[in-house]
């Protein structure tokens, strides 16, 4: 007996991946347009770097012992044997491009912006996508604190222009290669004494990445963190001066900040300034969470019964100075500073998303085609109208006059173009005024001028 063929299962997106549907995507495009306008006004130029880079770029730049490299990178081996990675972030790529393309020979600083998707194999949960959307800005070739201030200011402006209020800037200095090393040793020594009371991750971090001890969110490590040594006490004179100057510029620009001694960031390339921007109000449960976005370990009934609670605000943007990155990538030293905004998180907070979706244009002309020859030629006619910048709606999949007129009436277009068999042969068009029902036959070569005079 012939085997009954099995209906194939509907193929879905891979775990942690999602589609961005038209409404959301249009809102993102609008947000990006505003972000680009601000960046360009401040002197940034656009750049695109590849989605796939050599894996070494990120292990060298972001750091072997960071969470991103240890656990979250999507890597692959090509048929030729190259080890590549889907980019988890944009800064290392932009610096690689700066060095590779000799941008150090351009007038400095070089100011670049980018947007696009990045990939981190994170546990899917609120505000954490595996394919994340960022808008980033980088200033390379400038070591003074005014560059840090420009990055912070433009980043805040973009969030404010998106309508976000109560933004809170957390800022810290993690020193340079020298003074940070002394601090790291001191920190590791302090934590080593308390190792018995630490979570497993922190026990590991004492050896691998002591700075990240300050970043731990585990309840049991919080008391220990409170008493931990602070970087401020270890900053060298130059790093202190850099921070002082930056804070003075922020004060003069009336930008509020919170000096957050525990802010260290998750990427190894940072030196001196690090910052993150939050929305102070936190996220309301329904804005930030979908059942899909909840931790995957929570059973569905638990999700449903959970009481609404104020959630920990997530960073909407983060960045800092990275004066050593160029050297880590094999180049000479070039001071640099930058930031990236998380567009997924920003979009989930924009309350009136409708405002971010461009309104559909009020289309004044509806095009109707009747018969085989007219249908065949209709793409040419639409092209004449597009070149003449006449916005047109049509319904090329329909055949009958009645159905097409019905749509024209529904969208209330004042003019209808009727392209029948005869018109298709003569290269003419019937133009019907839908108010007066008056009709005129116009040669297609004169159609754009005719409509422009009336619209
Ligand atoms: P980052 O802090 O890893 O920094 O990411 C910047 C922003 O991207 C975060 O503040 C957050 O809003 C968003 N983000 C990060 N991970 C996720 C995720 N899994 N899902 C959704 N959103 C996420 C960087 O990437 C640096 N390259 C920023 C930088 C530029 N530093 C200097 N220049």
Phi/psi for 290 (5° steps) reads: -120, 160
pLDDT of residue 53: 98
The stretch 396-402 carries a mean pLDDT of 85
- Ligand 1 pocket test: pick from 345, 347, 348 the residue with the most ligand atoms within 8 Å of its Cβ: 345
CA 316 to ligand 1: nearest atom: 12
Q: Greater confidence, 64 or 441? A: 441
From ligand 1's centre to the CA of 360, what distance in Å? 33
Cα–Cα nearest to 128, from 86, 178, 88: 88
Do residues 336 and 326 make contact, with C-beta atoms less than 8 angstroms apart?
yes
Cα distance between residue 342 and residue 349, in whole Å: 11
CA 276 to ligand 1: nearest atom: 10
Share of the chain above pLDDT 90, in %: 72
pLDDT of residue 295: 36
Q: Among 31-35, 111-115, 305-309, 404-408, where is mean pLDDT lowest?
A: 305-309
pLDDT of residue 399: 83
pLDDT level of residue 64 (50, 70, 90 thresholds): confident
Cα–Cα nearest to 92, from 358, 338, 275, 401: 338
Question: Does 394 have pLDDT greater than 50?
Answer: yes
Q: Among 135-139, 258-262, 275-279, 355-359, where is mean pLDDT lowest?
A: 355-359
How are the residues of the chain apportioned to helix, strand and coil, as percentages rounded to the nearest 5?
A: 45, 20, 35
Q: Greater confidence, 13 or 292? A: 13
The stretch 288-298 carries a mean pLDDT of 35
pLDDT of residue 303: 37
* Identity of the highest mean pLDDT range in 85-94, 360-369, 370-379, 429-438: 85-94
pLDDT of residue 3: 60
- Average pLDDT along the chain: 89
DSSP state letters, 291-321: GGGS-TTS-HHHHHHPPP-PPPPPPSEEEEE
Please give the C-alpha separations between residue 338 and each of 44, 140, 317, 318, in angstroms, as whole numbers: 11, 8, 11, 9
| Each residue's pLDDT tens digit, 8-62 | 999 999 988 999 999 899 999 999 999 999 999 999 999 999 999 999 999 998 8
pLDDT of residue 310: 61
Nearest CA to ligand 1 atom 30: 339
Cα–Cα nearest to 390, from 432, 452, 344, 441: 452
The total number of residues shown for the chain amounts to: 455
CA 129 to ligand 1: nearest atom: 20
CA 319 to ligand 1: nearest atom: 31
From ligand 1's centre to the CA of 89, what distance in Å? 7
Q: Greater confidence, 289 or 34? A: 34
pLDDT of residue 287: 37
Please give the C-alpha separations between residue 416 and each of 87, 376, 394, 413, 443, in angstroms, as whole numbers: 50, 19, 10, 7, 15
SS3 for 343? helix
Q: Among 1-5, 128-132, 322-326, where is mean pLDDT lowest?
A: 1-5
Maximum Cα–Cα distance across the chain = 93
pLDDT of residue 123: 87
| Each residue's pLDDT tens digit, 150-165 | 999 999 999 999 999 9
Q: Greater confidence, 301 or 241? A: 241
Cα distance between residue 419 and residue 454, in whole Å: 19
The stretch 218-247 carries a mean pLDDT of 94
Pull the structure tokens for residue 322: 């990275």
Cα–Cα nearest to 318, from 357, 277, 352, 346: 277
């Amino acid at each position: 007996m012939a085997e009954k063929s099995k209906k194939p299962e509907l193929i879905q997106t891979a775990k942690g991946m999602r589609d961005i549907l038209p409404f959301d995507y249009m809102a993102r495009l609008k947000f990006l347009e505003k972000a680009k306008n601000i960046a360009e006004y401040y002197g940034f130029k656009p750049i695109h770097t590849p989605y796939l880079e050599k894996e070494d770029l990120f292990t060298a730049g972001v750091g072997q012992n960071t969470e991103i490299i240890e656990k979250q990178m999507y890597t692959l081996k090509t048929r030729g044997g190259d080890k590549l990675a889907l980019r988890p972030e944009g800064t290392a790529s932009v610096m690689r491009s700066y060095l590779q393309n000799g941008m150090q020979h351009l007038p400095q600083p070089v100011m670049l912006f980018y947007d696009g998707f990045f990939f981190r194999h994170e546990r899917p949960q609120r505000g954490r996508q595996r394919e994340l959307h960022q808008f980033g800005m980088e200033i390379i070739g400038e070591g003074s604190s005014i560059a840090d201030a420009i990055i912070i200011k433009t980043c805040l402006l973009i969030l404010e222009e998106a309508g976000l209020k109560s933004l809170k800037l957390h800022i810290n200095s993690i020193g340079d290669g020298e003074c940070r090393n002394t601090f790291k040793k001191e920190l590791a020594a302090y934590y080593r004494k308390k190792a018995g009371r630490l979570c497993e991750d922190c026990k590991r971090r004492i050896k691998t990445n002591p700075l990240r001890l300050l970043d731990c969110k585990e309840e049991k490590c919080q008391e220990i963190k409170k008493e931990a040594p602070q970087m401020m006490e270890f900053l060298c004179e130059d790093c202190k001066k850099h921070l002082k100057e930056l804070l003075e510029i922020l004060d003069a620009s009336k930008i509020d900040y919170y000096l957050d001694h525990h802010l260290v960031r998750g990427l190894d390339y940072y030196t001196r300034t690090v910052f993150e921007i939050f929305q102070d109000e936190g996220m309301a449960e329904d804005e930030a969470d979908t059942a899909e976005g909840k931790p995957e370990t929570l059973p569905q009934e638990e999700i449903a019964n959970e009481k609404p609670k104020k959630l920990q605000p997530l960073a909407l943007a983060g960045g800092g100075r990275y004066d050593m990155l160029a050297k880590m990538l094999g180049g000479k030293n070039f001071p640099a500073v930058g930031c990236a905004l998380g567009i997924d998180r920003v979009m989930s907070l924009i309350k009136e998303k409708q405002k971010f979706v461009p309104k559909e244009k009020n289309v004044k002309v509806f095009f109707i085609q009747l018969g085989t020859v007219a249908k065949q030629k209709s793409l040419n006619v639409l092209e004449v109208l597009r070149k003449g910048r006449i916005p047109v709606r049509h319904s090329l999949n329909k055949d009958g006059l009645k159905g097409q007129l019905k749509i024209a009436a529904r969208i209330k277009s004042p003019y209808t173009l009727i392209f029948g068999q005869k018109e298709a042969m003569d290269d003419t068009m019937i133009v019907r005024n839908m108010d007066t029902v008056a009709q005129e036959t116009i040669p297609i070569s004169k159609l754009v001028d005719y409509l422009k005079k009336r619209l």
